[in-house]
Amino acid sequence: MSDFFNEMFQSGSVRPPYARLEDWVSAMPAALRSLKQAEAEALFRRIGITFAVYGEGGDPDRLIPFDMFPRVFSAMEWHRLERGVKQRARALNAFLADVYGRAEIIKAGRIPGHLVWGNEAFEKAVVGFLPPKSVFSHVVGIDLVRTGPDTFFVLEDNCRTPSGVSYMLENREIMMRMFPELFQQNRIEPVEQYPELLRRTLASVAPHKCEGDPCVVILTPGHYNSAYYEHSFLADLMGVELVEGQDLFVDGEFVWMRTTEGPRRVDVIYRRVDDAFLDPLCFRPDSMLGVPGLMDVYRSGGVSICSAPGAGVADDKAVYTHVPEMVRFYLGEEPILQNVPTWQCAKPDERRHVLENLSEMVVKEVHGSGGYGMLVGPKATREQIDAFRSRITAAPHNYIAQPTLALSTVPTFVEEGIAPRHVDLRPYCLVGERIELVPGGLTRVALTEGSLVVNSSQGGGVKDTWVLAG
Amino acid sequence: MLSRTADNLYWLARYLERAETAARFLAVGGRIALLPNVGQGNRAEWDALLLATGTADAFRQKYGEAVQRNLESHLFFDHDNPSSVANCITRARENGRIVRTALTTQVWDALNTAYQELRELERQPRSELSLTRLTDWTMRAAALVRGAIDATQLRNDGYDFLHIGYHLERGDSTARLLDVKYYVLLPRIEFVGSGLDNYQWTTLLRALSVHRAFHWAYGGEVTAAKIAHFLILNRQCPRALISCVDGVNHHLDRLARGYGRSTPAQTAARGLLAELADASPEQIFDEGLHEFLTRFIRDMTALGGRIGDSYLIGDLR
């Protein structure tokens, strides 16, 4: 384990951000700990924060395991991360506005055109349309991993509808309820302003036809969706309606929702459904989730859709490699956050390198998500590696590969006390008239010893993430 | 408010009330079964109960004989029976989950706790669960949600839709429970009003939790006429048909005032209330109790339809 950066313990001493947690954890007997853990679980269940998984049998309302040991950043550490995240969010949005406009970056030869125009996520339906304030991606979730005191890598960008922010908020709420003394001893930056900031961000991109106070709604696929809890939680804290496709209809130049008092005009839709399901007249004709005619209203400035249709082209795993180039091209700055070196299996040279070193690499599907369809070389069996070898050879353009990163660890409660477990971090950057980042994010932790996969679908858990005040 | 949200709130309340009704049916049946009986045992009581719930055919297909254990399965545990306690609590909670944003934490907490406890009960061996425990639990769980609604929900239109659901369902439920007595006691119209078996009427009052209240209000001997008056026409009785229709009217009027317009739902509700206000026990028994109740249940269903058209579907322009 000595190869991994432990965020709390370094060569026998405790790093300053974690200083007060050492006493806290040593003063907690095992009996109290399991009591607290049970209390946390009961709280989660009562509040109803579950991750609904339908169609797999068993309990449809699963809890994502919550680990009570917090993950801590100093003010300095966070300051640098914040600048890096905001920089990246600006560059990604500039890229989107560009590729649906004059495509300068492609003309300049900095990104190959086929990566953009040939991409499944590229929406021809919005070419030439510039959304209000030139923003396509209003909530940018950037997945980060750490390998050393000052070394952070971006694992991937999420420009469409990154989920998980409700855990950031609830983890904090539960920690404050269970361990108020920790919040008296440590000066921890609050995160509870997130819903209000999100609402303001969305209102700031109201369409030009909107008069007065914009009506903002959240569009959900419905209560069978695994993230439904999050949708309803955010709607509640933002004080906006949570709508399904069936609640909306298009009449004339506008979108309306069905209310008990008759139709009400909707100005901004924070959608948590995929592009393909937004409008059956424009995208998938079989979609029951969407609103027929929505895209026409959108393109004529009658409603704003957040994230804008087509935003997905910026978070594609093949486009990812070029984000540092976007930062230089649009902002004229050097990237603050590093990309993980990535080999494109579509390129013969790089593919050869990947196939020769499979046992040391992480291989991902270009369009995959959630930790499915992924090979972690050092943890894989010979059979798994051979299976991936033939899959890559059969469809090389479907795969990218990255070196296996030495993900940092944070102490985590286990059977025997505390033990280091690998973590990542997803902060949520809000982009509207202004760019905002609340000091915190979602820390996911791989609860299995030695595991590097933090996805909740693969046995990962979550932690409260603290940023200490400077 | 979103029409779909209003619809979910309305059904949340209806399902909770319906769960309570299933439990009250069980209580009536269990209590009647304690009677010393002649001839065919308690078969007739349980059969009558099934007829009144409107699920007699489904029951017979699945279980066959109407004995207590089968009735408990059917009315409490069976998710195939849409009106069982288990199904109603599950559906109420599902409706609540969809409109979490429209409920206070306390209401959600009470609703979700009811659901979690139900799942516990479902895991326990049946031999450990007495009928009283099942019925008491259901009424307590439903009361906790109702209490949380009254203590914490904003008095806005959502509150009105919840209460419209409660009152409609409660009216329907009282009518159906009264109808059990018709089946048990008055199989032939000429027996109506004969004051045949006070014990069984008393059981009905107990099941509706208005036994003591009845004595406060009327005193003396329990007669069918007094009970009919109490459960149908007396505004003091919270479960009386007239109180339920009154409640629906009250909340529909609040909606009309708040929204600044009246709909066919208000007209229909007012008509139903006016009819009950003019009725007397004599008239009801002249028409025939069963006939009267059947008509009432049909009218309430029609009123529910009007409310749906006016508010819950969202076609209002």
**Do A260 and B98 make contact, defined as CB atoms within 8 angstroms?**
no
Q: Find the closest chain B residue to A244 by CA distance.
A: B4
B222 and B214 Cβ atoms separated by less than 8 Å: yes
Average pLDDT over residues B238-245: 96
Q: How near does any CA of chain A get to the CA of B245, in Å?
A: 21
d(CA B194, CA A111): 93
Domain spans, chain A = 9-337+406-467, 342-403
Q: What are the C-alpha distances in Å from A113 to residues A76, A122, A319, A336, B50?
A: 39, 11, 11, 26, 71
Q: What is the mean pLDDT of residues B184-202?
A: 54
* Alpha-helical regions (H) of A108-159: 113-117
Residues 6+ apart with CB under 8 A from B11: B91, B92, B95, B165
What pLDDT shows up at residue A63? 74
Rounded Cα distance between A418 and A69, Å, is: 9
Determine, for residues A45 and B116 on separate chains, whether the beta-carbon distance falls below 8 Å.
Answer: yes
Q: Which residues pair with B210 in a beta bridge?
A: none
**What are the residues whose beta carbons fall under 8 Å from the beta carbon of A367, sequence distance 6 or more?**
A120, A316, A317, A398
What is the mean predicted confidence (pLDDT) over B173-190? Answer: 68
Other C-beta atoms lying within 10 Å of the C-beta of residue B36: 4
For residue A264, pLDDT over 90 is answered with yes
Residue listed under structure tokens 């109790």:
B289
What pLDDT is attached to residue A368? 60
Nearest residue in chain A measured CA to CA from B106: A47
Residue B51 predicted with pLDDT over 80: no
**Chain B residues close to A46, C-beta within 8 Å:** 109, 112-113
CA distances from A132 to A123, A182, A210, B121, B193 (A): 17, 43, 11, 54, 75
Which positions ≥6 away from A39 have C-beta within 8 Å? Answer: A178
Cβ–Cβ gap B2/A257 under 8 Å:
yes
pLDDT digits (tens, 9 = 90+) for B256-300: 999 999 999 999 999 999 999 999 988 988 888 889 999 999 999
Which chain B residue has its CA at the smallest distance from A49's CA? B97
Mean pLDDT of chain B: 87
Q: Give the single-character DSSP code of A448.
A: S
Which residue in B98, B101, B161 is closest to A236 by CB distance?
B101
pTM of the predicted protein model: 0.85
Closest residue on chain A to B257 (Cα): A261
What average pLDDT does this structure show over B229-243? 94
Least confident segment among A50-64, A145-159, B7-21: A50-64
For strand A66-73 and strand A460-467, is the pairing parallel, antiparallel, or unpaired? parallel
Of B3, B98, B311, the CB nearest to A223: B98
Mutation to test the A interface, candidates B100, B108, B159, most A Cβ within 10 Å: B100
Give how far the C-alpha of residue B149 lies from the chain's centroid of Cα atoms, to the nearest Å.
Answer: 18
Which chain B positions have a beta carbon within 8 Å of A242's beta carbon? 101
CA distance B158 to A240: 15
Distance from CA of B77 to the nearest CA of A (A): 18
Q: Note the CATH architecture for domain A342-403.
A: 2-Layer Sandwich (3.30)
Q: What per-residue confidence (pLDDT) applies to B39?
A: 45
Q: Pairing mode, if any, of strands A139-148 and A61-62? A: unpaired
Q: Name residues whose C-beta falls within 8 Å of residue B205's C-beta, 6 or more positions apart in sequence.
A: B211, B214, B222, B227
Give the pLDDT confidence of A350-373 residue by residue, as tens digits: 999 999 999 999 898 876 655 567
**Is the per-residue pLDDT at B38 higher than 70?**
no
Residues of chain B in contact with residue A259, where contact means CB-CB under 8 angstroms, are 1-3, 314
Q: Grade residue A216 by pLDDT with cuts at 50, 70 and 90.
A: very high
Contact A413, A68 (CB under 8 A): yes
Q: Which of A8-17, A57-66, B199-208 has the highest mean pLDDT?
A: A8-17
Q: Whole-angstrom Cα distance, residue A341 to residue A343?
A: 7
Q: What is the pLDDT of residues A104-127, one digit of tens each?
A: 999 999 999 999 999 989 999 999
A424 sits in which H/E element: strand A417-426
Q: What digits encode the pLDDT tens for the residues A89-99?
A: 999 999 999 99
Quote the CA–CA distance of A374 and A393 in Å, as a whole number.
15
d(CA A95, CA A314): 7
Which pLDDT belongs to residue B36? 60
Nearest chain A residue (CA) to B4: A247
Q: Which helix (H) or strand (E) holds A419?
A: strand A417-426
What is the interface pTM, i.e. ipTM, of the complex?
A: 0.81
Q: What are phi and psi of A414, to 5 degrees?
A: -130, 175
